[in-house]
Amino acid sequence: MCSSNNLYKNPKPCKHLADYKLKNGLCGYSLIQECFRTTPYGRTTLEISKSEIPRCNICSGCHGRFYMCLICSSVLCCWSPESNHAHLHSQSQTGHEISVDIERAELYCFVCCDQVYDPDFDNAVMCKHIMGFSRTENGGVESELRLSKRRRSSFGMDLDSKNMKRLFFRRDQKSKSCFPLGLRGLNNLGSTCFMNSVLQVLLHAPPLRNYFLSDRHNREICRKMSSDRLCLPCDIDLMFSAVFSGDRTPYSPAQFLYSWWQHSENLATYEQHDAHEFFISMLDRIHDKEGKESLAPKDNGDCQCIAHRAFYGLLRSDVTCASCGFTSTTHDPCMDISLDLSSCNSNPKGLTSKSSKPNESLGGCLDLFTRPEKLGSDQKLYCENCQEKQDTLKQMSIKKLPLVLCFHIKRFEHSPTRKMSRKIDCHMQFPFSLDMKPYLASSIVRERYGNRIFSFDSDESDISTQFEIFAVVTHSGMLESGHYVTYLRLRNQWYKCDDAWITEVDEEVVRASQCYLMYYVQKMLYHKSCEDVSCQPMSLRADAFVPIAGCC
Amino acid sequence: MRTPDLYPITETHRPLRFCSSAEPFGVGVTAHWISEARLMSAPNEDNASQPQLSSHVFDELLDSIIIDVASECHRVAKLGLDRNLEEEEEEELRLSAQARARVADPSNNSETNGKYIVDIFGQTHPPVANEIFECMNCGRSIMAGRFAPHLEKCMGKGRKARLKATGSSTAQTRYS
């Protein structure tokens, strides 16, 4: 079910390394550990002498690449095929096959002529990194480098559709030829395409759909229990009932609009709004109502309202001192990830480059998002270790992945200095299947230290990193007067939801579209939900549900 | 005798993130090397060997960087951290480019932009939604497509409604 437990595979040692380990164990590594020198950027080198540059034992030269033999600690050079004293040494002395590249602190076997890897050696390297900060209280680096304790967290299995199936659905033989349930157009009530596009996403986000269709928010009970007449989740529930009723004529989300406007003062105007803004506002409103009434939060303090259970993730921000390497880490909650397009990173003076624009992709934007960024010298931060202001590096990564991952592409650029806004129209490629592994905190931090074999505290192996896309919200037109359209992926078929018009489209159309919001769901939930939507509804409640024999 | 082989550097479509440009590179060692080399060369040969010296330094630096990158890539490959990135990405990019080409081709475009298309359920709809229902605020019958502007005034929200409520002439001139 989950991805492999290790984020890397332990490479098999070569015969010579294995022999070395058998004979010498770890004592060679511990001795050499004193010579390790670490830089704030995660690099490790070997420093043989503080005052002199390294010289070869055989030729006293200082050219080429240097290796230190693990057995006799002699330093040897390798300059050219003709002048390779390190290799000579390994041949002339038996047992002296393994050495360390002093520039990078990597093991090298001169018989295999290949770089080799040993978790114990990497462990020694990492311990050196940790030891550098042992005198500080704030375990910025320490805490992340502790051996991991696997924490089991409930995976949201209660959000799956088992309950829903029992109450509402039975398999229908003819279901394959029918259109998926819940596919229904939404009438535009007057510049409300921004709202319709996001509603279509929420109506088909597996955790939300399962939650509302399982009657987890019961309108009657809510009315009795709450003195507050206003309840956005109730209106959402009403909408779910209507949209999944089997009626295929376009639905007017008027009650919902009325309810939402009563909740959100500032957004209650008849004009075009930003779909992303609306999405966040919706989640806030759901949380406001449900968060208070939900069962006691679990041990880890996470809110259990449906908005959080579906979308809540955790971002990790590392701020590293460029001078001493001391890292301080903070975690910030996020309900979505806003990504910059790389083309807007150029030219501080605002000159548009006439050269060809690079091809934008989601992977590229995520790389940009998790790239170590050197903060300007006007943004020096106080380092606890150095006790003064220093240049800093900042790096973002993902600590906890949500069930549903929303990417927001920042296409609307607002320039406060020039008092104008513009829309960035460039196309962005995005995959239908996404693996978030390289952007996890564990991968990013590990990479920062040169991908050493080491267990980090932030290793998360109980949540899968595989995602499948299920909805794309696109924007076409100008900043002020554009149009939002949602593409939904149900049972591996893409549907275009353009207000009241639902049409089938090829996946090519979706790939070529200009994405603005992209919604990915954990792969397992996606595949389960593909099964669910092929069923027919069966009414158990007196009201809205109308059983239908066939829907085509 | 063999030098450590230079491992093939895997080509990826994304720039390698490994060599952070923020990191000062091997310059310390080279600086030492230059001072040592100067001491070793005879004084009257200084001017003659200057370009040679620069060339050597450059070569040394370049070698150092190349092996560094190769070593990083080797580790990534051996530890299984590269995950067939190349193949997946190439496939995705190819599909994306293909899609854009097909969609851009006018002869392929069967989609009509007009609002008189038939949806998958066989229905057509007018450009402005004409379902009629009751406004939950005032009780009047409103057409769906005009519901939002009506509701705005009805609830007293929004710019125009607020202006009407205040009735202030200064407010009007400011916003007009």
Q: What is the DSSP string of B12-62?
A: -SSPPSSS-TTS--SHHHHHHHHHHHHHHS-GGGHHHHHHHHHHHHHHHHH
Of the candidates A114, A258, A363, which has its C-beta nearest B89's C-beta?
A363
Residue in A189, A238, A466, A493 to test binding to B, most B beta-carbons within 10 Å: A189
Q: Which of A67-71, B48-52, B106-110 has the highest mean pLDDT?
A: A67-71
Classify each residue of A6-16 as buried b or exposed e, where b means 16 or more C-beta atoms within 10 Å of its C-beta: ebbeebebbeb
Of the candidates B1, B72, B121, which has its C-beta nearest A81's C-beta?
B1
Tell me the C-alpha distance between B73 and A233, whole Å: 51
Mean pLDDT score, B39-43 = 45
Question: Facing residues of A382 across strands?
Answer: A389
Of A12-26, A199-213, B33-47, the least confident: B33-47
Tell me the C-alpha distance between B142 and A95, whole Å: 91
Instruction: Determine contact: A257 vs chain B, CB below 8 A.
Output: yes
Residue A299's pLDDT band, with cuts at 50, 70 and 90, is low
How much is the mean pLDDT over chain A?
80
In A447-476, the residues whose Cβ lies within 8 Å of chain B are 447, 450-451, 453
Instruction: Determine contact: A255 vs chain B, CB below 8 A.
Output: yes
Q: Please say if the pLDDT value at position A453 is more than 90.
A: no
Mean pLDDT score, A502-519 = 94
Q: Please say if the pLDDT value at position B164 is more than 90.
A: no
Q: Please say if the pLDDT value at position B17 is more than 80.
A: no
- Tell me the pTM: 0.78
Q: Which residue has the higher pLDDT, A415 or A527?
A: A527
Q: Please say if the pLDDT value at position A38 is more than 80.
A: yes
Pairing of strands A428-429, A360-361: parallel
DSSP helix/strand/coil, A394? strand
Chain A hits for B123, CB-CB cut-off 8 Å, are 248-250
| pLDDT value of position A128 | 86
| pLDDT value of position A481 | 80
Question: Facing residues of A328 across strands?
Answer: A319
Mean pLDDT score, A284-298 = 71
Of the candidates B137, B147, B159, which has its C-beta nearest A190's C-beta?
B147
* Percent of all residues in chain B with a pLDDT value above 90, rounded to a whole number: 18
- Which two three-digit tokens encode residue B127? 């450009």
Q: Which of A339-353, B40-54, B93-107 has the highest mean pLDDT?
A: B93-107
Chain A hits for B34, CB-CB cut-off 8 Å, are none
- Encode pLDDT of A397-412 as tens digits: 999 999 999 999 999 8
Q: Please say if the pLDDT value at position A209 is more than 90.
A: yes
The active-site residue out of A14, A69, A193, A551 is A193
Instruction: Determine contact: A108 vs chain B, CB below 8 A.
Output: yes
Tell me the C-alpha distance between A186 and A484, whole Å: 13
Among A214, A220, A216, which residue's Cα sits nearest to residue A294?
A216
Residue of A nearest to B130 (CA): A187
- Encode pLDDT of A138-157 as tens digits: 444 444 444 333 333 333 44
Instruction: Determine contact: A190 vs chain B, CB below 8 A.
Output: yes
| pLDDT value of position A265 | 66
Chain B hits for A510, CB-CB cut-off 8 Å, are 99
Mean pLDDT score, A538-550 = 39
State the DSSP string of A38-91: E-TTS-EEE-S-SSS----TTT----SEEEEETTT--EEEE-SSS-BHHHHHHH
- Encode pLDDT of A40-60 as tens digits: 888 899 888 878 888 888 888
Residue of B nearest to A78 (CA): B3
Residue B165's pLDDT band, with cuts at 50, 70 and 90, is low
Residue B22's pLDDT band, with cuts at 50, 70 and 90, is very low
With 0-12 / 13-18 / 19 or more C-beta atoms within 10 angstroms meaning exposed / middle / buried, residue A424 is middle
Mean pLDDT score, A336-362 = 66
Residue B84's pLDDT band, with cuts at 50, 70 and 90, is low
Chain A hits for B71, CB-CB cut-off 8 Å, are 101, 104, 106, 115
Question: Facing residues of A483 across strands?
Answer: A476
- Encode pLDDT of A384-397 as tens digits: 888 888 889 999 99
Of A109-118, A513-522, A542-551, B139-148, the least confident: A542-551
User: Helical H runs in A93-134?
Assistant: 119-131
Contact across the interface for A500 and B125, Cβ inside 8 Å: yes
Contact across the interface for A81 and B2, Cβ inside 8 Å: yes
Chain B hits for A13, CB-CB cut-off 8 Å, are none
Tell me the C-alpha distance between A166 and A124, whole Å: 55
Q: Has A193 been annotated as catalytic?
A: yes
Contact across the interface for A53 and B33, Cβ inside 8 Å: yes
Chain B hits for A81, CB-CB cut-off 8 Å, are 1-3
Q: Which DSSP state fits A181? A: T
Instruction: Determine contact: A545 vs chain B, CB below 8 A.
Output: no
| pLDDT value of position A493 | 93
Mean pLDDT score, A152-166 = 43
Among A98, A104, A45, A38, which residue's Cα sits nearest to residue A73?
A98
Mean pLDDT score, A172-197 = 79
| pLDDT value of position A106 | 94
Q: Please say if the pLDDT value at position A204 is more than 90.
A: yes
Among B170, B167, B92, which residue's Cα sits nearest to residue A511?
B92
Of the candidates A87, A268, A374, which has its C-beta nearest B1's C-beta?
A87
Chain A hits for B29, CB-CB cut-off 8 Å, are 53, 103
* Residues in Cβ contact with A355 at an 8 Å cutoff, skipping those fewer than 6 apart: none
* Percent of all residues in chain A with a pLDDT value above 90, rounded to a whole number: 36
Mean pLDDT score, A179-202 = 93
- Encode pLDDT of A86-129 as tens digits: 888 888 888 889 999 999 999 999 999 999 999 999 989 988 88
- Rg over alpha carbons for chain B, rounded to the nearest Å, is 36
Instruction: Determine contact: A39 vs chain B, CB below 8 A.
Output: yes
Query: How many CB pairs below 8 A link A and B?
Result: 208
Q: Which residue has the higher pLDDT, A254 or A147?
A: A254
Taking the CA of residue B126 and the nearest CA in chain A, the distance in Å comes to 9
Q: Has A483 been annotated as catalytic?
A: yes
| pLDDT value of position A236 | 94
In A119-178, the residues whose Cβ lies within 8 Å of chain B are none
| pLDDT value of position B173 | 43
The active-site residue out of A87, A273, A427, A483 is A483
Residue in A187, A392, A397, A432 to test binding to B, most B beta-carbons within 10 Å: A187
Taking the CA of residue B23 and the nearest CA in chain A, the distance in Å comes to 7
Chain A hits for B131, CB-CB cut-off 8 Å, are 187, 250, 252
Mean pLDDT score, A417-439 = 87
Residue A344's pLDDT band, with cuts at 50, 70 and 90, is low
- Which two three-digit tokens encode residue B159? 């710019």
